[in-house]
Amino acid sequence: MPASPSTARALNDRLALRLLQQEGPLTAGQLKQLTGLSRPTVADLVDRLTASGLITVVGESGEQRRGPNARLYGIVADRAHLAALDVRTEGVFVLVSDLLGRVLAEASVPIGPDAGTGPAVEQAVAAVESAAKEAAAMAAPPREGVRGWGTLHTVGIGAPGLIDPATGDLRDSAGLPAWHRSLAVTLQDRLPGARVTVENETNLAALAEQREGAARDRDTFVLLWLGHGVGAAVVLDGTLRRGASGGTGEIGFLPVPGTAALPSATDCTGGFHSLTGAAAVTSLAAECGLPTPATPDGPGAAEAVRGAVAEVEKAGEGVPVPVTGPRAAVPVARPGEGEVKRRGGTDVTAGAEPDAATASASGEAGPAARASGIDPGRGPASESESESASESGSAGTGPVARETVARPGAGAASVPATAAAPGRPGCGAPPQAGPGGAPPAALPGDLPAARFLRILADRIAVGAASVVAVLDPGCVVLGGEVGQAGGAVLAGLVEERLRRMSPLVTEVRASSLGGTAVLRGALLTARDRAQDELFAPPDRMGG
């Protein structure tokens, strides 16, 4: 059934606008060539879009020809402004851009844990209003007859927690500040002409990585967010999957081996968060004797990981290969002194029972090891399995293993698994033989940084392997501040570990956007939604 004239015009207009957005200014002749439309049809759509204030003449083509040069048409970027918010437990980051994504203003406001809901929301809204005013001052002069010129059209908010798929509202989550849920409603009241939308922060990060970052060539992948907290986002066949209740990717609650307890419906202690959250990462770094920041948040954990990667790279020994066996127990950092607050309200208090890693160093089985029957001194493999692996003597394979260079003159002797690093309980035993009994590649003095990265990669791989087994995404992106800080070194270690644990081939990549991905994803989402309305047929725009 052929499209009606009005539908055909709408499709043609949107096609032309998308091309102008992607390619930049174009002449009418270039639009004709790229769209395949006739010259009269292109002339009509140019007239319509110019009259609606969406495109304008921005210059002339450089081609010399008889008569005047062809005029170049471009999208009117200041037709509307967009705001993006990255809402965190400790504050809000804001940016305002034009329709083409050019950032016009930025703002940030810290919000303390003792701030009440009212004052916290007021601080956040004031930051948005201030940035919007700054952007409006930078905008081009308003065009006569075009309503809404330079106003804040759409606000995209990225926040932790579950988004109700039916209402689009942020659901009440234990441990998250109450002002998070009030922010969107207040912004809508204070900005009645704007469209305010909320999305889970990890989902927005995945969208940004797909459009601008490490997953640009992937229609199917999983983003593993490693920052203050942990989470995952799933993109299958180019579509973000949210789940029946909006909870796809709540991987912090995933039960994993190597922890002292099981998570509950309101507390992710004992879940994957306990292995890879920022507090666990900084605690592990301290136990490995590495410099650690005072604050166990996302940036702090990233600093520890970045320093370890730099130390390993400086040693000139290539990428350290994770050498624990494919079924070895995963150590977790010991609870620190006092209390450390984590995202989601998780408290880690001193005096807990020794975990698997601590028990391995002390010779005492922790609660997780006792429950699972794992011998913390040598992992879950039986003696017969270990002897069989030792006798086979086959070398490890894979690109990461091949790239590792042993120290000149240094043998790669196997070290008994029960020998813990002196004075560093919880940092794990020295390298063990890998699958098949192959001795591990030597690292300079078995650097504490290398041991730290091995154990961290093991922990990450435990959660990633569960996702891979269910979804088979073919690609996992390590996102967030920690994922970006680990770079190719950490990604290579996790990929090699997954290769041992799963028959499903999975590429692991480091995020190229890191902690900025949420803000970029919020902006891209706001821009898409604004353009869906602004690029609509003229009769829907009132003219």
What is the tens place of the pLDDT at every residue in 147-182?
556 689 999 999 988 888 778 888 776 667 888 889
Written as one letter, the residue type at 96 is: V
How far is the C-alpha of 181 from the C-alpha of 167, rounded, in Å? Answer: 13
How far is the C-alpha of 279 from the C-alpha of 180, rounded, in Å? Answer: 22
The whole-number pLDDT of residue 137 equals 86
The whole-number pLDDT of residue 141 equals 63
Whole-Å CA distances, 139 to 76, 105, 112, 362, 459: 11, 11, 33, 65, 49
Ranges of beta strands (E only) in 190-288 are 195-200, 221-226, 230-236, 239-241
How many of the other CB atoms lie within 10 Å of CB of 334? 24
**328 is written with which tokens?**
């070895």
The whole-number pLDDT of residue 510 equals 96
Write down the residue that tokens 């000149």 correspond to: 408
Kindly indicate the confidence band of residue 52, based on its pLDDT and cuts at 50, 70 and 90. confident
Reference 331, options 417, 245, 223; nearest CA is: 417
How many of the other CB atoms lie within 10 Å of CB of 178? 11
Segment of 1-5, 39-43, 266-270, 436-440 carrying the highest mean pLDDT: 39-43
The whole-number pLDDT of residue 68 equals 55
Reference 111, options 95, 127, 97; nearest CA is: 127
The pLDDT tens digits for 275-293 are 999 999 999 999 999 988 8
Helix-, strand-, coil-residue percentages of the chain, each rounded to 5:
40, 15, 40
Residue range 406-422: mean pLDDT, rounded: 32
**249 is written with which tokens?**
């990717």
The pLDDT tens digits for 418-440 are 233 333 335 654 444 444 444 34
Radius of gyration of the chain (CA): 27
Kindly indicate the confidence band of residue 390, based on its pLDDT and cuts at 50, 70 and 90. very low
Write down the residue that tokens 């150590």 correspond to: 331
How many of the other CB atoms lie within 10 Å of CB of 543? 12
Reference 325, options 444, 453, 449, 437; nearest CA is: 437
The whole-number pLDDT of residue 451 equals 93
Written as one letter, the residue type at 517 is: A
Q: Does residue 130 surpass a pLDDT of 80?
A: yes
Q: Which of 111-120, 145-154, 447-456 has the lowest mean pLDDT?
A: 145-154
Q: Pick the residue with more confidence: 380 or 459?
A: 459
Written as one letter, the residue type at 384 is: S
Mean pLDDT computed over every residue of the chain: 76
Q: Calculate what percentage of the chain has a pLDDT beyond 70.
A: 70
- Sheet (strand 26-27) strand order: 26-27, 71-75, 55-60
Whole-Å CA distances, 380 to 28, 258, 485: 69, 12, 31
The whole-number pLDDT of residue 260 equals 84
Q: Does residue 14 surpass a pLDDT of 90?
A: no
Ramachandran sector of residue 508 (left: φ over 0; alpha: ψ -120 to 50; beta: rest): beta
Q: Does residue 376 surpass a pLDDT of 50?
A: no
Write down the residue that tokens 């926040």 correspond to: 159
The whole-number pLDDT of residue 427 equals 63
How far is the C-alpha of 535 from the C-alpha of 52, rounded, in Å? Answer: 10
**126 is written with which tokens?**
């004031």
Whole-Å CA distances, 178 to 114, 275, 463: 11, 27, 29
Strand 91-97 and strand 55-60: pairing? unpaired
